[in-house]
Homo-oligomer: A and B are copies of this chain.
Amino acid sequence: MAALGERAKAAATVLAQAPGAVRDDALASAANLLEAATDRVLAANCEDVAGAEAAGTSATLIDRLRLDAGRVSAMAAGLRTVAALADPVGQVVDGWVRPNGLAVERIRVPLGVVAIIYESRPNVTSDAFGLCLKSANTAFLRGSSAALNSNLAIAEALRAGLVAVGLPADALVLVTDTSHGAAAEFMRLREYIDCLIPRGGPALIASVLANATVPYVLDGDGNCHVYVDAAADLDMAADIVANAKLSRPSVCNAAESLVVHRDVAASFLPRIVDRLDGVELVGDEASRAISPQIGPAGVGDFSTEFLALKMSVAVAESLDAAIDHVNWHGTGHSEAIVTGDLAAAREFTRRVDAAAVLVNASTRFVDGAEFGFGAEIGISTQKLHARGPMGLEQLTTTKFVVTGAGHTRG
């Protein structure tokens, strides 16, 4: 594992000096070679799918694992899209001159080696590589054993794309030992890994917390709320709640919980119950007294990210109570208020502690593409380094460059 890390680090040193145009050429070349390798990738993927089926893997996981020609083309298109984004490297973030004449500049530079541990989707191999290369970082990838053949075939094409433009193949290093022991070792390569981004469920996060000594950014859960204020336009509120819950229930920025101000609960709840036909609603006593179609909320329902057609419902006595409810049960991801009252919007946006707070908009907008980042490596719910959707900028760090004329410190 250390030998792989050493290769990854050596490639990062070369990448950090490669002009943006060369990195963009490598992305284009990797996209072309990936498409040209479609048959080989699909054959490898067939092996993985067959293995997963034989192992009794669930249909949902097999769907995530399975590739077809369209999905391979989509990966290639993703690489071309990333190539067209602005280069984050070399940007002068800020700069100033000190009273003694010393010039201080803060320059955006690559992190170096970005390690990513991910689960069954093989497209992450290509997506992560694209974002890392665009930001001049080595992608040091550790996928799941279920997708190993697919990942190897994809990585082979991408590495050939690097070599075709004279960049080191090791700007993409794929770990092929998919054992738990190897994962733990991977998370401790402090000498070689500058940032680890785990993309997976609670078991992976727990393993990172227990084992990792490398710096990491956690892509956390989203127990997202929509709060319908006393001053909400109820048509707007119904549209937003329906969009936040229904447009894609399985993603982290989908709403899991509805909080309604008591002054509008009697008028709003029956409407939204109809609108959310097919969604299992579980709520507190106040909501159930108004809409008996709402079932009783069990212990923990208000703190659960369902990722399914299920939603918790609470009636809040006041704006304050709603904010407290959101801060207590939320996971710091994306929280929305629907209101026409400026003071309520101000209170909610100031006091709710989350990566993103939305006013009169669906939580579903909290996403790198929707924010205009062009690409996304995840959504951070931690507060250090990156908070919210992570694009290319979050795959960089800065370096101070200080220029004097023989300055010494008194």
Contacts and interface: CB of A to CB of B under 8 A. Distances in A.
A88 interface: no
A182 interface: no
A364 interface: yes
Which 8 residue pairs of A and B lie closest in terms of their CB atoms, listed nearest first? A361-B404, A243-B408, A236-B406, A383-B397, A385-B385, A356-B400, A361-B407, A364-B409
Contacts of A409: 243, 247, 362, 364-365, 370
A355 interface: yes
18 contacts: A13-B327, A102-B361, A102-B365, A112-B353, A233-B406, A236-B406, A240-B408, A349-B401, A356-B400, A357-B400, A358-B404, A360-B407, A362-B408, A364-B408, A371-B400, A384-B385, A387-B399, A388-B400
Contact of A399 (B96, B357, B359, B371): B357
Interface in A209-223: 209-210, 213, 215, 217
Interface in A354-410: 354-362, 364-366, 370-372, 382-385, 387-388, 397-409
B403 A354 contact: no
Contacts of A213: 209-210
Interface residues of A, number: 64
B371 A104 contact: yes
Contacts of A407: 240, 360-362, 365
A180 interface: no
A239 B104 contact: no
B402 A357 contact: yes
A362 B409 CA distance: 7
